């Protein structure tokens, strides 16, 4: 099919057919369509949108560009998050769900920009092998019940090419393209049901509730057309999730949650998402019943046992659970004190994520080497009362970073925190939960 005619058709706001979309994806994956023509089509989709059918056709074509796993009669359930600063729930909810009997396949990514990647974080634990091939991955899910690997060239290779192009052509924000990117990978990994954590706010990619709702509906529609059960959860990301930002720090915090001692916000959200997975797996009648099961798995230690088993299964030692000194950690700390009194009104999570990247905790370019030990520990969150000169945040850094730490201190005091004389209204962490069954 003629790519120029297809671009012009979408430019004129006409719907593309299934064969047209399949042809474009196949030929682009095979390098028969150049980047500049695909960029033109992506921009046309961004500007004119795409129907539910077009989005499903695009998702399927991207999914079928690589291998598609099939677990046959075994029910497997995964979770995906649209990401945000301090978002580390996978290391909590997966062991909880596993402890409650759910089989959990996890294919995760690395970080680029202001959010850390799941694979980067777990690699704070030496020896953890995220490079299992798809055969090992499938066997692990079926036999062990929970596996975490990095993105592979065998799963939705078209998405990898298209996402890299979207990142440099100003087309990341398109809801149909976001939907196809997420769902092509999740469907290819063989999940029977998916829990989708769609974040909105200053520290998320979706800034408003309205945009998050549009994405939720698009994902629901695509999942149902593919005969997959779906739960969408809209959650607030107007401040960092939990109290830590940085690879080792975040994994340690997750272990604390599994020990029953973690911060309330990340504990509550992780339990809620895990409960959704338990429901989709058919192990509970509703979220309320599943929530009780999830909480019990933490209280009786079964969720922590599941995390230990994940470490051992993928080549790492569980000594990290018992002694946090085994983690790579920064050698220096610096406590920043509040420069005002009152209540914390806002925390710029996006800025903190970027500052963590400046420390080496994230990547500005794909080739950047990570420092797993650096990051931040927050002592106050939105709504907390502070007095001038009381501890606000701790920077974890290394000796050769003192000059950059001075710049970061100024940025934090000027551009990260704002104060109010009265206590601000507490925002709901979990804004909305929708369950959609395909049958």
Contact between residue 233 and residue 272 where contact means Cβ atoms under 8 Å apart: yes
Domain boundaries, the chain: 3-49, 77-323+429-436, 328-420
Confidence class for position 153, pLDDT limits 50, 70, 90: confident
**Per-residue model confidence as pLDDT tens digits over 86-139:** 999 999 999 999 999 999 999 887 765 566 688 889 999 999 999 999 999 999
Active site residue 159: yes
Q: Which of 110, 185, 186, 228 is catalytic?
A: 185
Rounded to an integer, the average pLDDT of 139-165 is 91
Active site residue 32: no
Confidence class for position 1, pLDDT limits 50, 70, 90: confident
Note the pLDDT of residue 179.
Answer: 94
C-alpha closest to that of 319 among 93, 145, 148, 128? 128
pLDDT at 365 over 80: no
**Per-residue model confidence as pLDDT tens digits over 173-228:** 899 999 999 999 999 999 999 999 999 998 888 889 999 999 999 999 999 988 99
pLDDT at 150 over 90: no
Q: Which of 10, 161, 166, 372 is catalytic?
A: 166
To the question of pTM greater than 0.95 for the whole model, the response is no
Active site residue 185: yes
Rounded to an integer, the average pLDDT of 82-88 is 89
Q: Which of 80, 121, 161, 228 is catalytic?
A: 80
pLDDT at 78 over 80: yes
Active site residue 181: yes
Q: Which of 81, 90, 174, 181 is catalytic?
A: 181
Active site residue 166: yes
pLDDT at 230 over 60: yes
CATH assignment of 77-323+429-436, among 3.40.1030.10, 3.40.20.10, 3.90.1150.10, 3.30.565.10: 3.40.1030.10
**Per-residue model confidence as pLDDT tens digits over 304-321:** 999 999 999 999 999 999
Note the pLDDT of residue 72.
Answer: 83
CATH superfamily of 328-420: Pyrimidine nucleoside phosphorylase-like, C-terminal domain (3.90.1170.30)
- Average per-residue pLDDT in the chain? 93
Contact between residue 95 and residue 293 where contact means Cβ atoms under 8 Å apart: no
Confidence class for position 163, pLDDT limits 50, 70, 90: confident
Rounded to an integer, the average pLDDT of 239-257 is 96
Note the pLDDT of residue 117.
Answer: 83
pLDDT at 344 over 70: yes
Q: CATH topology for 3-49?
A: 1.20.970
Rounded to an integer, the average pLDDT of 58-67 is 96
Q: Which of 60, 120, 159, 371 is catalytic?
A: 159
Q: What percent of the chain has pLDDT over 90?
A: 82
**Per-residue model confidence as pLDDT tens digits over 385-434:** 999 999 999 999 998 898 899 999 999 999 999 999 999 998 899 999 99
CA angle 83, 254, 191 (to 5 degrees): 55
């Amino acid at each position: 099919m003629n790519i120029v005619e297809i671009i012009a058709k979408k430019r004129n706001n006409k719907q593309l057919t299934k064969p047209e979309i399949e042809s474009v994806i196949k030929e682009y994956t095979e390098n028969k369509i150049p980047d500049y023509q695909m960029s033109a089509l992506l921009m046309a989709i961004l500007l004119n949108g795409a129907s539910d059918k077009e989005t499903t056709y695009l998702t399927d074509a991207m999914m079928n560009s690589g291998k598609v796993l099939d677990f046959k009669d075994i029910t497997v359930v995964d979770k995906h998050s649209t990401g945000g600063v301090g978002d580390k729930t996978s290391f909590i909810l997966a062991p909880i769900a596993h402890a409650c009997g759910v089989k959990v396949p996890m294919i995760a990514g690395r970080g680029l920009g202001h959010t850390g990647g799941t694979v980067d974080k777990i690699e704070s634990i030496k020896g953890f092998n995220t490079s299992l091939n798809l055969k090992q991955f499938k066997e692990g899910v079926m036999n062990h019940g929970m596996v975490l690997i990095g993105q592979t060239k065998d799963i939705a290779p078209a998405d990898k090419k298209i996402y890299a192009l979207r990142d440099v052509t100003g087309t990341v924000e398109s809801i149909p393209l976001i939907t196809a990117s997420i769902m092509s990978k999740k469907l290819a990994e063989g999940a029977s049901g998916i829990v989708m954590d769609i974040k909105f706010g200053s520290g998320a990619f979706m800034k408003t509730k309205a945009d998050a709702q549009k994405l939720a509906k698009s994902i629901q529609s695509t999942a149902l057309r593919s005969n997959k059960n779906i739960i969408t959860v809209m959650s607030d990301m107007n401040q960092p999730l939990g109290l830590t930002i940085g690879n080792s720090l975040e994994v340690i915090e997750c272990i604390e949650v599994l020990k029953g001692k973690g911060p309330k916000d990340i504990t509550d959200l992780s339990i809620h998402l895990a409960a959704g997975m338990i429901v989709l797996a058919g192990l509970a009648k509703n979220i309320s019943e599943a929530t009780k099961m999830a909480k019990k798995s933490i209280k009786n230690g079964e969720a922590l046992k599941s995390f230990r088993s994940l470490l051992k299964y993928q080549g790492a030692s569980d000594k990290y659970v018992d002694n946090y000194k085994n983690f790579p950690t920064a050698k220096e700390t610096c406590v920043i004190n509040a420069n005002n009194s009152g209540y914390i009104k806002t925390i710029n999570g996006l800025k903190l994520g970027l500052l963590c990247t400046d420390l080496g905790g994230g990547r500005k370019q794909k080739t950047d080497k990570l420092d797993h030990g650096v990051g931040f520990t927050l002592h106050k969150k939105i709504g907390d009362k502070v007095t001038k000169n009381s501890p606000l945040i701790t920077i974890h850094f290394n000796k050769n970073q003192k000059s950059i730490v001075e710049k970061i201190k100024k940025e934090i005091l000027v551009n990260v925190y704002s104060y109010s004389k009265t206590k601000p209204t507490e925002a709901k962490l979990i804004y909305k939960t929708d369950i959609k069954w395909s049958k």
